[in-house]
Amino acid sequence: MHLTESKDSQETAANGSLVQSAGERGRRYGLRDGACQAVTQGSGEQYLSAFALLLHASPFQLSVLSALPQLIGTGAQLISVKLLRWFPNRKALISAGTIGQAVAWIPIVLLPLLLPQWGPWLVVTGAAVYFACAHFTAPAWNSLIADWLDQHERGAYFARRAQIIASLSFFALCGAGWLLSLWQDSTAAWWGFILIFALAGSARILSAVALSPVHDVHPTAQLEAQRGFREFFRQNATRDFRRFLLFAGLMHAAVLVAGPFFVLYMLRDLHLSYFGYGGWLAAGLLGQLFTLRAWGQFGDRFGNKALLSVTGLTVPILPMLYLVSTQLGFLLAVNFLGGVIWAGLALGLQNYVFDSVRPEDRAKAIALYSTINAVGWTMGALIGSWLVEHLPAGIEWAGIILQPASNLPFVFFLSGVLRLLVSVGLLGSFHEARQVELVPRQQLLWELPLVKPVAQFVVWTLPKSSR
């Protein structure tokens, strides 16, 4: 009897040790994958629009480049969720999608150079394949990583991962921009894109290599396989979660009214170099880097709904500021502020999904969330391309004349108005999904990233008599 109990306890301890070890490897893989993803984003994804512009893409083609790959990617997510029901090997699905991403960079860069008359559309097609592979991995990847995290540490973990992505993306962006600038005034400018896209593909190969020692020993994959997507949507998606999805989808639509055209504004209208454009992108990453950890702690402590409320009501201001000035220093400051706000908004959106559903429903919830976002993404990009074609280049009203470098700042301003309408109309329609610390709004403002350290510094520098 005692021998049996001792044997059982030893097996239990061994199993617990195995799960703990697998969890540590899984968490480490998540960070290493983030590092590889950062290189791919900074040297590849961020310059896809610039590459299409080199091939003389029109505003409509730039909007399609932003919208169509995301829309096709959601179809790949739904296929991935279906495959989890019949083939609940999350590691294999992630590996297949990651290698597919690496291979997709070959047609992206080579086909437009072989058939330049179809260049922009071939970039769109190659990007669609790339993002389809990326989205294919998303449900399984998020489900796998979330299994190793407690609900009160997700914010800190994903903030740390996002910090790694932001810091490495910053260097990749600057390095790629510098490299492209070497050939900017040359007929062989495409050589720079070949080099940076090759680096982007190599980084995805390294991510697949980092996945190899990870073991999926958690039962969530089997639980996910037992339930269909429709069953989750009809029975397990709560009212709050549905309203959150509406908010996320419409916010993405409002953002993409402007999103695809910043590259057009910077490179065509303001005549920035590739290095200057890369610096503008990098300023946003610096904003993320300085505040991600604080946003993660804010969300873990006060809830992701509070995080969404703060950032959702400030993100409308960002595109409106492009009507103020075209000075590079001002543009860098605006995008730095954008990085600060978007770091919190993106983190809140992602973690609210995790908080709102059961572990066995996470893959389906991620797929549904991405599908809604992609539909909004597509609608916003197409509306934006229509506005680019029809808005005037200048406005005169009550003796005030606004004549920016093009009509694009007016498109950006309208994007900000739409963001504000979405936030004011929908942020109050859903609630926090877990138990969090409740504090007055004044204290919430005090706890905001950048606000708290600046306020503490001001108080510290005041004379003691005035405190």
* Structure confidence by residue, pLDDT tens digits, 108-139: 989 988 888 899 999 999 999 999 998 888 87
pTM of the shown model: 0.77
Give the model's confidence band at 442: pLDDT under 50 very low, under 70 low, under 90 confident, else very high: low
User: What CA–CA distances, in Å, run from 272 to 17, 93, 177, 196, 268?
Assistant: 55, 41, 11, 19, 8
How far is CA 9 from its chain centroid? Answer: 44
Residue with tokens 């080099």: 195
Q: Is residue 372 part of a domain?
A: yes
Band of residue 203 on the pLDDT scale cut at 50, 70, 90: very high
Residue 2 lies in a domain: no
Place 288 in a pLDDT band, splitting at 50, 70 and 90: confident
Q: In the numeric block, which tokens belong to residue 240? A: 């709050």
Assigned token pair, 185: 């005034």
- pLDDT greater than 50 at residue 457: no
Q: Output the pLDDT for position 426.
A: 94
Q: Which helix (H) or strand (E) holds 402?
A: strand 400-402
User: Which residue range is the domain that position 424 belongs to?
Assistant: 19-393+401-436
Neighbours of 369 (CB within 10 A): 26
Residue 275 lies in a domain: yes
Q: Is residue 137 part of a domain?
A: yes
Handedness of CA 112, 177, 168, 354 (dihedral sign): negative
- Residue 401's SS3 state is strand
Is 238 part of a structural domain of the chain?
yes
Tokens of 69: 């790959």
Domain annotation covers residue 444: no
| Higher-confidence position of 128 and 301 | 128
Q: Based on the structure, what is the number of domains in the chain?
A: 1
pLDDT confidence bin for 446, thresholds 50/70/90: low
Short-list 211, 191, 193, 189, CA closest to 201: 193
Q: Is 400 helix (H, G, I), strand (E, B) or coil?
A: strand
One-letter amino acid identity for 410?
F
Percentage of residues in the chain with pLDDT exceeding 90? 30
CATH code for position 90: 1.20.1250.20
DSSP alpha helix (H) spans, 115-153: 119-147
Interval 357-376 mean pLDDT? 81
Can you tell me the distance from the alpha carbon of 411 to that of 415, in angstroms, rounded to the nearest whole number? Answer: 6
pLDDT at residue 353 in the model: 87
Per-residue burial over 124-158, b if 16 or more Cβ lie within 10 Å, else e, is bbbbbbbbbbbbbbbbbbbbbbbbbbeeeebbbbb
Asked whether residue 9 is domain-assigned, the answer is no
Is there a domain that residue 5 lies in? no
Which stretch of DSSP H or E encloses residue 405? none
Buried b / exposed e along 291-327 (16+ C-beta atoms within 10 A): bbbbbbebbbebbbbbbbbbbbebbbebbbbbeeeee
